[in-house]
Amino acid sequence: MKTQYYTATTIDGWIADEKNSLDWLFEVEGGEEHPFGEFFAGVGAFAMGATTYEWIVAHEQALKHPEKWLEPYGDTPAWVFTHRELPRIPGANLHFVRGEVAPVHREMVAAAGGRNVWLVGGGELVGQFADQGLLDELILGVAPVTLGSGAPLLPRRLTSRRLTLTGVSRLGQFANLTYRVGPPTPGTPAS
C-alpha cells in the first residue's frame, strides 16, 4: 500500500493556471491517452483540496450529473479538505474534513483496505502529507506546456535526498516520471 500523488504537470511545474483551470491539459494532443483506469484500479481511498473538488463539480457539472463522478470513482471513499461548506455530489462517498492530515490519513488507509491512497491535489495539500512523511510516491505526467504561473505542483522543497527516480516512460506527448519519496530529514524545515 502506498500513498501516491498522481497528477499532470506543465514543464515549468504548474498543475493549474492562475484561474485554477486545467484547459491547458485538455489541449495537449493525445492527452486523452493516460493510464488512469489502470492506476485507479489500485486505489482504495483518495483525497483532494476544496479547489480541486470545486473544479470537478463545476467542470463536470457533477451536481446535475453525478454520474460524471460515479463513473470514474464509483463508491471509492473520497476525503475533501475544506474550511467552508461545499455542496455534496449525490451518491458520492464523500467525507468533508479539516485540520491535520495525519489522522485523516489513518482513516483513509483503514478505508483503503490494503489498496493505495491517491492524493489528487492540490499541491499545498500534498505538501502537508509530504511534511508529515505520509507521501510515498510521485507519479507525474509532464505535459509539453509552460504556463509561467498558476497552482504549483508541490510548493515544498524536496531535494534529491528524499526523491529517487524509479520510472520513466513516454505516452504520447507526455513524459511520465515516477519518484519514490523518502521521509523528511529530522530538524530540517518542511517548506
pLDDT tens digits for 5-14?
Answer: 999 999 999 9
pTM of the model: 0.91
CATH number of the structural domain spanning residue 75: 3.40.430.10
Q: Is residue 170 part of a domain?
A: no
Lowest pLDDT segment from 31-35, 58-62, 130-134, 140-144: 31-35
Q: Is residue 20 part of a domain?
A: no
Mean pLDDT calculated for residue range 16-27: 89
Mean pLDDT calculated for residue range 17-25: 89
pLDDT of residue 162: 96
Q: Is 72 left (phi over 0), alpha (psi -120 to 50) or beta?
A: alpha
What nine digits make up the cell of 154?
508541490
CA distances from 154 to 79, 88, 146 (A): 19, 27, 16
pLDDT of residue 185: 81
pLDDT of residue 189: 55
Q: Is residue 121 part of a domain?
A: yes
Q: Is residue 14 part of a domain?
A: no
Mean pLDDT calculated for residue range 104-124: 97
In this structure, how many other beta carbons lie within 10 angstroms of the beta carbon of residue 73?
18
Domain of residue 103, residue span: 1-6+39-142
Domain total in the chain: 1
Q: Is residue 158 part of a domain?
A: no
Percent of the chain with pLDDT over 90: 83
Residue from 129, 114, 121, 141 nearest 181 by CA: 129
pLDDT of residue 32: 58
Q: For 24-75, how does the pLDDT look when each residue is reduced to its tens digit (9 = 90+)?
A: 988 887 655 567 778 999 999 999 999 999 999 999 999 999 999 999 999 9
pLDDT of residue 147: 96
Q: Is residue 183 part of a domain?
A: no
pLDDT of residue 28: 86
The DSSP call for residue 91 is T
Q: Is residue 184 part of a domain?
A: no
Percent of the chain with pLDDT over 70: 94
Q: Is residue 16 part of a domain?
A: no
